[in-house]
Amino acid sequence: MTGSITNLTDNELKRQQSIISISLLVKLVEEYKQSALPMLEAAGIEPELLHDPKAKITLQQEFGFVQAMLSMIDDPDIGFRAGQCYRLNAFGNLGLAAASSEKVHDAIAFFQKYACLSNTHFDISLIKEGGVAFLRFKDRYDLKALKQFYLERDFSFSLISTRDMFPRSLSGQKSKVIHFEFECPTSVESYETLYGCTVKFSMPHNEFLFDQRYLDQALPQANSLARKLFEEQCESQKIETLGPEGLTQKIRYVIQASEGSIPNMEDIAVQFHATSRTIRRKLKAEGYTYQSILSEELCRKAVNYLETTTLTVEQITHLVGYGESASFIHAFKRWTGKAPRDYR
């Protein structure tokens, strides 16, 4: 199983997560009048765990179950049907916090912040342009044969969760549209019947488009005190799942938050009340150098601006922290192998 998933270390594949996602898929399998036992066995999941709401499985076991399920059930709509099994309450504190948010964009931002507690395997960015909002799904790693299933599942869930959170229509609203990168495996008509909106294939990105005005709609279950309580519980769950954040991640946050300037090692040392030598030593123990972290985060920031805004290269140059475009373009070519305009 591990050979079919790239860019994942053994530690990442062994990461513990809730069994709730698998329990929902087991119910889906039963709707097909099939037994989930062979799939659980293929994934190395003890059936008894399904009765324990606190049970944990590994990411590798999840992939194993899904791979077995797809090989045993021949239904092109299974990804969509899987997404329909999920509701916000299936995400525990994460779903409750999102539903308690003041507005739709607050709920989305919360999901983005705690995506590690959700079941998605994609990084999700929110883009606003021309009155349209885009939820763009970008690969965290190469899912290969499982990618189409997870995309269809997550897009199906996105549609049903927005209806759950805010079922009312807007006057003169722009139509929802789904873009998939892959080629249409059956017929466009069948996809549009399932998703209830326009679906386009072989597109540059995997994204869900909807009227931007939805982002400012108040949620019917908004409760600031409940949201704060659920967020505290999500933070504890995040630490329990991923462990305490190391210095590497804390430095990443500093670089991400810096606009118009590039923090150097001395800036970082002052912020963390340490010497530059201590910072270098701690980063080395975590397997990083400051320069490698800086390059990764500046590249990530530049790519995000190029993909999600219409800012000029000159504007992005200054936002990322470079004094002149030539230096930024040279650095971007070193990071990606392409000039910024070619990348866009």
Q: How many domains, the chain?
A: 3
E strand or H helix that includes residue 267: helix 265-271
> What integer pLDDT is reported at residue 7 of this predicted model?
58
What proportion of the chain, given as a percentage, has pLDDT over 90?
Answer: 38
Does the pLDDT at position 6 exceed 60?
no
Residue 4 pLDDT class (50, 70, 90 cuts): low
> What integer pLDDT is reported at residue 242 of this predicted model?
66
Instruction: Give the 3-state secondary structure of residue 5.
Output: coil
* Section 17-25 average pLDDT: 89
Q: Are residues 202 and 256 in the same domain?
A: no
Task: Judge contact between 122 and 138, C-beta under 8 A.
Answer: yes
Task: Look at residues 74, 103, 137 and tell me which one is the last residue of a structural domain.
Answer: 74
Pairing outcome for strands 198-200 and 177-179: parallel
Q: Are residues 13 and 84 in the same domain?
A: no
Q: Name the average pLDDT for the chain.
A: 87
Q: Are residues 58 and 86 in the same domain?
A: no
Task: Look at residues 197, 226, 243 and tell me which one is the last residue of a structural domain.
Answer: 243
The verdict on pTM exceeding 0.85 is no
Q: Among candidates 197, 192, 227, which has minimal Cα distance to 209?
A: 197
Q: Are residues 55 and 13 in the same domain?
A: yes
* Section 246-275 average pLDDT: 85
* Section 303-321 average pLDDT: 86
Domain span holding position 334: 247-343
